[in-house]
Amino acid sequence: MERARRRQFTVGYKLRILSEADAARTTGEIGALLRREGLYSSHLAAWRRQREEGILNALSPRRRGRPTSSPEQRELARLRRENERLGQRLVAAEAVIEIQKKVSFLLGLVEPSGPSDERS
């Protein structure tokens, strides 16, 4: 025996049924609409609550892909990437300079840096 599946309704269908129910003048018309569509009054109540809370509009299909960004945002992102890259190069260059200082000191090419006073 196959299990019954729960029905799923699209946002467009829900909005169409709600507009038809709102257009109905009498309770009998709403009942006829529910019977014709095979729905319960609890469906209408839940869908109206969702519409009032803005949930149905939030579920409407959106454009896929990356969100478009303004030219200023793209330029800011590019400058941040460049700043990060230059910061990494600066750290590497400072490390090379420190290593060169240590090698020069170990080979005796340069005296340790300190206050130099040649006039004494």
Cα–chain center distance at 49 = 27
- Domain segments of the chain: what residues? 11-58, 75-112
Residue 20: half-sphere exposure toward Cβ, Cα within 13 Å: 16
Question: For residue 4, what pLDDT is reported?
Answer: 80
pLDDT in tens, 6-29: 888 888 899 999 999 999 888 789
Q: What is the mean pLDDT of residues 54-60?
A: 70
Mapping DSSP onto H, E and C, the string for 64-101 reads CCCCCCCHHHHHHHHHHHHHHHHHHHHHHHHHHHHHHH
Q: What is the mean pLDDT of residues 53-68?
A: 72
State the chain's mean pLDDT as an integer.
85
77 Cβ contact partners less than 8 Å away, ≥ 6 residues apart: 69
Question: For residue 70, what pLDDT is reported?
Answer: 87
27 Cβ contact partners less than 8 Å away, ≥ 6 residues apart: none
